[in-house]
A and B are shown apart, each in its own frame.
Chain A
Amino acid sequence: MKKTIGTAFAATFAGAVALGGFAASAADPVKIGFSESKTGLFAQAATSQYQSYNLWREQMNAAGGLDVAGTKRKVEFVSYDDQSNPGKAVQIYEKLITDDKVDLLLAPWGTSLHLAIAGVIERYKFPVVGNTAASVQLRKLKAGNIWFPTSLFPDRQSDVLAALLKDRGVNTAALVTNQLPYTQENKSFVVPALKKAGIELVVNEDYPPNVKDLTAVLTKVKNAKPDAVLAYTYPADAVLYMNGAREVGLNQRVQVVLLGPQYDFFDKIFGAARNGILTMGHWTPARKDWPSARTFADAFKARWKTDPDFVDAPLAYVSVEILQQAVAKAGLDKDKLRATIAGTTFATINGPVRFEGVMNVALPTMISQIQGGTQHIVWPPKERTAEAIAKPAWK
């Protein structure tokens, strides 16, 4: 009798374990890992990437979960602060893969961290769709486990900008550039691009990132009377440029501010005064042929009580959209996933995405302009959502 009870108990226990194990594997959340720049140099800029990731996770879970080759599974994030440190990001991605054993990976923030983790994901053959990175160096990465949906590469961006300036009748320009890497890389390409377009550079000065006043250099720009002013800024010094340009009275009809106008805080400070400012960007909710762009912008605002920026937030969301569609088709098998990402055209909030090598070849490089409180694509003509306007005089 004892034996019977024991056998029955053992059989029940084994069955429960087996059933439980089966049930757990179907219902287990999909673990998605990434490193976040919560502190350090990139913390301020990286916030919108994290907000897009979380918005997507919440949307997936509210809809019953992520479609993994036909099975819906909840999404769970595993993330660590990389302190904006590329070395730390490498350690984190290694841990996510080997220790946390995540099912999928999302990208860290910024070019330097993307470049840093490329070696780890290549070693473990773990596919990652990048997002907030744009440097010509990225093209040198081995294709296969990393891809970049953006088209904001400094060389192409410079050529497109030079073409727009020429179209706006610009013959002379002044260039002031922050000494940080992305603006310097853009400068290195825009100087020859302007020359090739026949635009003379009458002022060409750099300034350090911790600058607190630009009055002197903007006075030099005013005295040189260029047709266009190109301020290759990061967000913090973009504020200095705008305030300085107003005070000094730089009323050029063509003014380019590279990084800053895309962010919500810029709208809060300058409001209508930023109208007419040209800037970088290839996304806008105003594109009628990208209907999900408006849906994303509204959902982002409803969730985070702030508008998404026009660069990082949409790019981060595009990267998870790509992963979502690839996982629905290929499941979590890394080889199948890699082949699917490399060989599929994805529908995203930024239009179709199709990769050749590491690059998205479906998205042309574009220039945007702030008009009526939002960002419109104004160049090239076949992509634009609005005609470029002359910048109104400062008020």
Chain B
Amino acid sequence: MVDLFSGQLLIAALVLAAIYGLVALGLNLIYGTMRLLNVAHGEILMLGGYLAYWTFTLTGVGPVWSMFLALVLAGAFGAIVYRTLCRRVLRSSRLIEQIEANSLLLLFGVSIILQNVIALSFTATARAYPYLDDIVRIGTFQVTADRLVVLGIGLALCFAAILFFRLSATGLQIRALIQQPDAALLVGVDVERMRLISFSLGFAIAGVAGCLISMLEQVSPFMGFPFTIAAFVVIILGGLGNLAGGLAGAAVLAAIEVYGVALTTTSMRSILIYGVFIAVLVWRPQGLFGGRSMVR
């Protein structure tokens, strides 16, 4: 029997929660403000992974630093995608009626293009690099330093994002747009600007997440999709458009993945995760941490 109170399991769950939280945050932000289902989210993460890999391989600069570059480049890429593609969908009276389905198709195309551009540019061969992989002993358990760094940066970014949305003027406007888009417009929120910022921020966070994840696993053109799926599970658990709820959803998913497996068997992992996912969709569609007003 596995000791459920072991630090080893706790740290594994926390690292996973930080990764899921960060990945889901960007997706939730874009969905919350615009109702756009960004299925290319994992591919932005993948681009961040490649940026970290090439920066480290060519210059020796680690992902802890290249993530700032990823933040800027992914954010700029987000602005380009928003202005050239998504804004058209949002402005078209015909397309906006089924915005979720239309954005899903549009961004699915973007994801396929990104995967194949990277596969053609760098081949589909998996790539990896060693970074901060020394074992660190903490009390009775041990963990690799790269996972501690991912945990620290991941949690710091998640909490920084919460503070940004609660305290800054821009963050409050974005939250207003998420919760009451029509009312936000009436009270003078610059909806177009907030949408652009949200979209860029969503991409930027995904780019940073990719940099961090590249420390733990190999990067390849097709690495993003499982993270997109995980992010969707997290934001359904936490409540679509509910940013803080998404972080709590990430913790729930990580706990199921680590402690659920410890209590049962590894082969139960998917059954447990998707069992809870379906149960939440059926009995609490606003998410475990969302109020009814969040449902649209």
Residues in A lying within 8 Å of B, measured CB to CB: 38-41, 43-44, 46-48, 51, 176, 179, 205-208, 210-217, 219-220, 223, 235-236, 239-240, 243, 246-249, 263-266, 268-271, 306, 394-395
Interface of chain B residues 248 through 281 with chain A (CB within 8 A): 257-259, 261-262, 265-267, 269-270
Contact of A210 among B12, B123, B127, B226 (CB under 8 A): B226
3 pairs of A and B residues whose beta carbons are closest in the complex: A215-B12, A207-B266, A216-B262
A208 lies within 8 A of B258 (CB): no
Question: Which one of B6, B9, B135, B229 lies within 8 Å of A394 (CB-CB)?
Answer: B135
Given the interface contacts A43-B221, A46-B124, A269-B130, does A215 sit within 8 Å of B258 by beta carbon? yes
Q: Which residue of A lies closest to B16 (CB)?
A: A213
Give the distance in Å from the alpha carbon of A247 to the alpha carbon of B12 in the complex. Answer: 10
Contact B8 A219 (CB under 8 A): yes
Q: Indicate which residue in A39, A212, A219, A264 contacts B16 across the interface (CB closer than 8 Å).
A: A212
CB-contact partner of A39 in B119, B123, B130, under 8 A:
B119
B69: Cβ under 8 A from any A Cβ:
no
B267, A220: Cβ atoms closer than 8 Å = no
Interface-central residue, A212, A214, A217, A249, by most chain B CB under 10 Å: A212
Please name 7 further chain A to chain B contacts, defined as beta carbons within 8 Å, in addition to the given A207-B266, A269-B129, sorted by A numbering: A48-B125, A215-B12, A235-B126, A240-B217, A243-B147, A268-B130, A271-B130
Nearest B residue (CB) for A266:
B128
Q: Restricting to B109-144, which residues have a CB under 8 Å from any CB of A?
A: 112, 115-116, 119, 123-130, 133, 135, 141-144
In chain B, residues 197-243, which have Cβ atoms closer than 8 Å to a Cβ of chain A?
216-218, 220-222, 226, 229-230
Query: Which bracket fits the contact residues of B?
Result: 35 or more
Partner of A243, one of B19, B144, B266: B144
**Interface pair A239/B128, CB less than 8 Å apart:** yes
> Interface majority SS on A: helix, strand, loop or mixed?
helix
In the complex where A216-B266, A248-B8 touch, is A236 in contact with B259 (Cβ < 8 A)? Answer: no
Give the residues in chain B near A235, CB-CB below 8 Å.
126, 218
Complex alpha-carbon distance, A243 and B116, angstroms: 29
B contact residues around A43 at 8 Å (CB): 119, 124, 221-222
Hey, which chain B residues are within 8 Å of A271, CB to CB?
130
Least CB distance, A7 to chain B, in whole angstroms: 55
One of A39, A210, A214 near B115 (C-beta < 8 A): A39
What's the nearest-Cβ distance from chain A to residue B89, in Å?
25
Instruction: Return chain B residues, CB-CB under 8 Å to A176.
Output: 266
B186 within 8 A of A: no
Residues of A within 8 A of B128 (CB): 239, 265-266, 268-269
With A205-B265, A216-B259, A271-B130 as contacts: A265 and B125 at CB distance below 8 Å:
yes
Check B258 against A265 for contact (C-beta < 8 Å): no
Q: How far is the CA of A206 from the CA of B264 in the complex (A)?
A: 12
* Cross-chain contact B142 with A249 (CB below 8 angstroms): yes
- Cβ contact of A208, chosen from B119, B127, B143, B269, cutoff 8 A: B269
Q: Which residues of A contact B262 (CB under 8 A)?
A: 216, 219-220
Contact B126 A44 (CB under 8 A): yes
Task: Say yes or no for B58: interface residue by CB 8 A criterion.
Answer: no
Smallest CB separation, A355 vs chain B (Å): 30
Report whether B135 and A239 are in contact in the complex, using a CB–CB cutoff of 8 Å: no
Asked if B222 and A44 make an inter-chain contact with CB atoms under 8 angstroms apart, the answer reads yes
